[in-house]
Amino acid sequence: MLTTGQLQDLLSDLESDRVERTTSTSNTDKFAEAVCAFANDLPNHRKPGYLFVGVDDKGVPSGLKVSDRLLQNLAALRSDGNILPAPRLNVEKIPIHGGEIAVVEVHPSDLPPVRYRGRVWIRTGPRKGIANEQEERALSERRTNLARTFDATPVREAAIGDLSLRLFGEYRAETIAPEAIASNHRTDEEKLAALRCFDLRANAPTVAGILLFGVNPAYFIPSAYVQFLRLPGKSMVDRPDDALAVTGDLRSVLETIRQKIVVNNNRAIVQGKGFRNEEAPDYPEWALRELFHNAVMHRNYQSSMPVRFYWFSDRIEIQSPGGLYDEVTKETLRTRNGYRNQILAEAMRAMGYVEKYGSGIQRAEFMLQENGNPPPEFEIDDKVFLVTIRGRLA
Boundary residue ending a domain (80, 97, 129): 129
| Domain co-membership, 282 together with 252 | yes
Q: Model confidence at 174, in pLDDT bands (50, 70, 90)? A: confident
Compute the average pLDDT of residues 99-112.
90
Q: Which domain holds residue 158?
A: 147-216
Residue type, 132: N
**139 lies in some domain:** no
| Domain co-membership, 177 together with 244 | no
| Domain co-membership, 198 together with 236 | no
For the entire predicted model, the pTM comes to: 0.70
Compute the average pLDDT of residues 8-27.
88
Higher local confidence (pLDDT), 56 or 333: 56
pLDDT at 215: 97
68 in Cβ contact with 39 (< 8 Å): no
Q: Model confidence at 78, in pLDDT bands (50, 70, 90)? A: confident
**135 lies in some domain:** no
Q: How far apart are CA 310 and CA 11, in angstroms?
A: 57
Is residue 287 pLDDT above 80, yes or no? yes
**336 lies in some domain:** yes
Boundary residue ending a domain (175, 193, 216): 216
Q: Model confidence at 9, in pLDDT bands (50, 70, 90)? A: confident
Q: Model confidence at 324, in pLDDT bands (50, 70, 90)? A: confident
| Domain co-membership, 238 together with 378 | yes
pLDDT digits (tens, 9 = 90+) for 231-277: 999 999 989 999 999 999 999 999 999 999 999 998 776 655 555 66
Q: In the chain, where does DSSP find H-type helix?
A: 4-12, 28-40, 68-75, 133-146, 165-175, 178-182, 188-194, 207-213, 217-220, 250-264, 285-298, 342-350, 360-371
Boundary residue ending a domain (191, 216, 241): 216
Q: Model confidence at 372, in pLDDT bands (50, 70, 90)? A: very high
Q: How far apart are CA 239 and CA 233, in angstroms?
A: 9
- 3-class DSSP state of 33: helix
Q: How far apart are CA 323 and CA 87, in angstroms?
A: 23
**376 lies in some domain:** yes
| Domain co-membership, 163 together with 278 | no
Compute the average pLDDT of residues 65-74.
93
Instruction: Tell whether the torsion through CA atoms of 104, 108, 110 and 115 is positive or negative.
Output: positive
| Domain co-membership, 333 together with 304 | yes
pLDDT at 327: 66
| Domain co-membership, 385 together with 344 | yes
Compute the average pLDDT of residues 68-82.
90
Angle at 76 between CA 70 and CA 87, to 5 degrees: 125
Compute the average pLDDT of residues 151-177.
92
Compute the average pLDDT of residues 152-171.
94
Compute the average pLDDT of residues 206-218.
97
For the chain, give the mean pLDDT: 88
| Domain co-membership, 269 together with 153 | no
We report the CATH number of the domain holding residue 115 as 3.30.950.30
**159 lies in some domain:** yes
Buried b (16+ CB within 10 A) or exposed e, 354-380: beebbbbbeebbebbeebebeebeeeb
Residues 6+ apart with CB under 8 A from 135: 42, 120, 122
| Domain co-membership, 259 together with 358 | yes
383 in Cβ contact with 323 (< 8 Å): yes
**100 lies in some domain:** yes
Lowest mean per-residue pLDDT among 21-25, 272-276, 370-374: 272-276
317 in Cβ contact with 236 (< 8 Å): no
Q: Which residues pair with 303 in a beta bridge?
A: none
| Distance in Å from the first CA to the final CA of the chain | 52
We report the CATH number of the domain holding residue 333 as 3.30.565.60
| Domain co-membership, 171 together with 236 | no
- 3-class DSSP state of 31: helix
Cα–Cα distances (Å) from 201 to 120, 144, 153, 155, in that order, read 22, 8, 11, 12
Lowest mean per-residue pLDDT among 11-20, 98-107, 179-188: 179-188
Q: Work out how many domains the chain is built from and give that number.
A: 3
pLDDT digits (tens, 9 = 90+) for 290-319: 999 999 999 999 898 999 999 999 999 999
pLDDT at 225: 96
Decide: residue 209, CB within 10 A, 0-12 exposed, 13-18 middle, 19+ buried.
Answer: buried
% of the chain beyond a pLDDT of 70: 92
DSSP assignment string, 134-174: HHHHHHHHHHHHH--SGGGSB-TT--GGGB-HHHHHHHHHH
Q: Model confidence at 37, in pLDDT bands (50, 70, 90)? A: very high
| Domain co-membership, 78 together with 206 | no
**316 lies in some domain:** yes
Q: How far apart are CA 357 and CA 86, in angstroms?
A: 9
Q: Model confidence at 149, in pLDDT bands (50, 70, 90)? A: confident
Compute the average pLDDT of residues 279-300.
92
pLDDT at 7: 82
Higher local confidence (pLDDT), 311 or 117: 311
| Domain co-membership, 188 together with 267 | no
**221 lies in some domain:** no
Q: How far apart are CA 364 and CA 187, in angstroms?
A: 41
Residue type, 221: I
